[in-house]
Amino acid sequence: MVGQIKSKIKAGGKLLLFILFGTGFMYCISCAKKTADIESNRLIEAIVIHDENAALTARIRIKLQQKDELALKIRKQRDNNEQWIMSDAAYEHSFSLLELQPEAVYEYSIHSTRNGKPHEELQSTRTFKTSDIPQHVSEFYIKSESTFPYPIDGYYLFASMTKQGCMYLLDNKGNLVWYLCTPNTIKSVKITQNNTILAIEDEDHTPFGDGNILIERSWAGDTLFIHRKGNTTFDKTIHHDAIINNKGNYLAITNVLQGGYPGDGLVEWDAKGNKVWEWNTFDVRDEYDSNLKDQPWINSVFQDKDSNYILSLRALHQIWKINAKTGKVMWKLGDKGDIKMDHKYNFLYQHYAHMVNKEQLLLFDNGSDNRKYSRILLFNMDESQKTATIAKELKLDESYYSAIMGSVSLLPQNHFLTASSVKGLGLILNANGQVINRISLKDRVYRMEHVLNPFKN
């Protein structure tokens, strides 16, 4: 784990393990048993990791004297439904426990396995109790004002924008099934193709979408990658969005300053944090109005099926596709773009532009002070002919108008998830644009994402 410091302290008859992560975030971990009490001499230690910053998850880490396969039996106390989790042969094992209940007692035991079945009990039943959900977490998601009469397959991921940041995952009935808090402000959170969570965080709590940390985590809370500004390869503030591309590298939007004027860029890092590619809007300054002195304001990046990048440039009211190797602009959709379209579908200050169904482009059209309503727009794209025709236009009620931020995702059965960010609302709409489910929040969020099966691994 990147940036991890471990120390063991014996206190009050049990072993405490403190892990300080690279984000400055500390977990307190209590051992299930002291090593001296272990029933089997093959078992060195078994440690349960859990705290209130992620009360609905836990991890059990086990060290063995010899390499072996293991099986973990776990169940909620006084619940007859038990679960067996298997792991391959190793000296050290880590079992991730997800979708737990707060303030609940769980029982577990550890077994060796033979031929894929539990064999010898290495440690008899022990217990641990999960923490309660902190008040600031439970207050942000207002379940009492949220409605889910029409469950749609999948889950909903979003993050608060508060000084102590928190990521949330709701199931399709509106239940909070996962959360993770960090001392930083979370500027964006995105599910990756690896079923992990990629976030831009900000230790300095600056305004707007700027951040100084890019971090990838598992659903169990393990840090898989962390990169912080100040490293020689992380020399520009990142903002608004980041992805893992199809090479397994990390790509983030950056702030760029040239000649006293602001611009945007992209930076690509490999898994070790080495910079392998960089691009900025000054490289293609002839692609937009030379009189524009403001930042183009890239607010989303996605990778298309041909490996090139789809960018949303808010201040230009345009979507660009750029070549992932050369940085050349391949086409521009929107106001003054080179893709032919019906201009009544010109979008304003848009967000979250991405390809769906192979040849369609979906985006959240924010609107403006001169057009105070937001829209969901879906375009049929013919890149070879450079034409775009409208496939779907859903006008949101003016009460859902979001002048800034926002997102839209395509759900199963041609439903849509959209974030009316300024209003602190997530809306699930049917194909006709009727709001069928509603997520109510205490304050604004940058975006919401649909996750089909987060716990599949």
Site of tokens 């707060």:
102
4 against 415, higher pLDDT: 415
User: Residue 7 pLDDT more than 60?
Assistant: no
Residue 19 burial (C-beta neighbours within 10 Å; 0-12, 13-18, 19+): middle
| pLDDT over 50 at 31, yes or no | no
pLDDT at 42: 87
Q: Tell me, what's the pLDDT at 457?
A: 61
Residue 395's closest CA among 443, 425, 360, 429?
429
Check for a shared fold between 5-129 and 186-337: no
pLDDT at 1: 26
Predicted confidence at residue 116, as pLDDT, reads 86
**Is the pLDDT at 131 greater than 80, yes or no?**
yes
Q: What is the mean pLDDT of residues 418-447?
A: 97
Lowest-confidence range among 27-31, 143-147, 191-195, 205-209?
Answer: 27-31
Residue with tokens 């093959």: 42
Overall average pLDDT of the 364-372 stretch: 97
Just give the CATH number of 186-337: 2.120.10.30
Show Cβ contacts of residue 166 under 8 Å, excluding neighbours closer than 6 positions. Answer: 136, 137, 140, 159, 160, 179, 180, 181, 182, 186
Over pLDDT 70: what percentage of the chain? 91
Beta bridge partners of 439: 426
> How would CATH label the architecture of 5-129?
Sandwich (2.60)
Q: Cα separation of 408 and 393, whole Å?
A: 12
The pLDDT assigned to 291 comes to 86
pLDDT at residue 249 greater than cutoff 90: yes
Q: Could you count the other beta carbons within 10 Å of the beta carbon of residue 307? A: 12
Position 22 scores a pLDDT of 36
What average pLDDT score do residues 94-105 get?
A: 96
Instruction: With a cut of 90, say whether residue 2 has pLDDT above it.
Output: no
- Of the pLDDT bands very low, low, confident and very high (cuts 50, 70, 90), residue 39 is low
For the cut 70, the answer to whether the pLDDT of residue 30 exceeds it is no
Query: Percent helix, strand, coil in the chain (nearest 5)?
Result: 10, 55, 40
Q: Are 23 and 12 a contacting pair, CB within 8 Å? A: no
Q: Where are the domains of the chain?
A: 5-129, 134-183+339-457, 186-337
% of the chain surpassing 90 pLDDT: 86
pLDDT score of 255 more than 70: yes
Average pLDDT in the 254-271 region? 96
pLDDT of residue 207: 85
- pLDDT(21) > 70: no
- The pLDDT of 95-117, averaged and rounded, is 94
Q: How many residues would you count in the chain?
A: 457
Question: What pLDDT is recorded for position 12?
Answer: 29
Segment 159-168 mean pLDDT? 95
Looking at the predicted structure, is the pLDDT value of residue 394 above 80? Answer: yes
Q: What is the DSSP string of 38-63?
A: -SSTTEEEEEEE--GGGTT-EEEEEE
Would you place residue 40 in the very low, low, confident or very high pLDDT band (cuts 50, 70, 90)? Answer: low
Weakest-pLDDT range from 14-18, 271-275, 438-442: 14-18
Decide if pLDDT at 202 tops 60: yes
